[in-house]
């Protein structure tokens, strides 16, 4: 009876230890699992409603400021132009430029 019980406990212990290949697969999956938008939002065409909530920190007022800037300056030439929008600023855009370029386009 002791030998059988020992064999059962040992089997569960062996099965519960993750192998290096599983751990490596999980690490690779975690590193590559990044939520990317399916389609980028065109800064030169989107309305304030589409821009609202499209990026962390861009609410209704900032979205309206983006549309106002676009209309006053004949559109955006690059995503970095968002730094000129009142309420966004150079610091915000520089800090998040890569992420902003992943969400927005100017095409």
Q: What pLDDT, on the 0 to 100 scale, is given for residue 33? A: 46
User: Is residue 41 helix, strand or coil?
Assistant: strand
Q: For 27-78, how does the pLDDT look when each residue is reduced to its tens digit (9 = 90+)?
A: 555 555 445 556 999 999 999 999 999 999 999 999 999 999 999 999 999 9
8 A C-beta contact, residue 85 and residue 65: yes
Does residue 87 register a pLDDT over 70?
A: yes
Residue-range domain boundaries for the chain: 41-105
Q: What pLDDT, on the 0 to 100 scale, is given for residue 1? A: 75
User: Is residue 84 helix, strand or coil?
Assistant: helix
Lowest pLDDT segment from 16-30, 52-66, 85-99: 16-30
State the pTM of this model.
0.65
Structural tokens at position 24: 């490596």
The domain made up of 41-105 has a fold known as DNA polymerase; domain 1 (1.10.150)
């Amino acid at each position: 009876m002791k030998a059988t019980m020992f064999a059962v406990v040992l089997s569960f212990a062996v099965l519960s230890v993750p192998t290096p290949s599983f751990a490596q697969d999980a690490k690779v999956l975690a590193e590559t699992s990044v939520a990317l938008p399916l389609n980028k939002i065109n800064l030169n065409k989107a309305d304030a409603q589409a821009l609202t909530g499209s990026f962390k920190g861009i609410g209704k007022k900032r979205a309206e400021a983006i549309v106002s800037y676009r209309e006053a300056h004949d559109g955006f030439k690059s995503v970095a132009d968002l730094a000129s929008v009142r309420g966004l600023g150079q610091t915000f855009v520089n800090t998040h430029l890569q992420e902003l370029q992943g969400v927005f386009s100017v095409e």
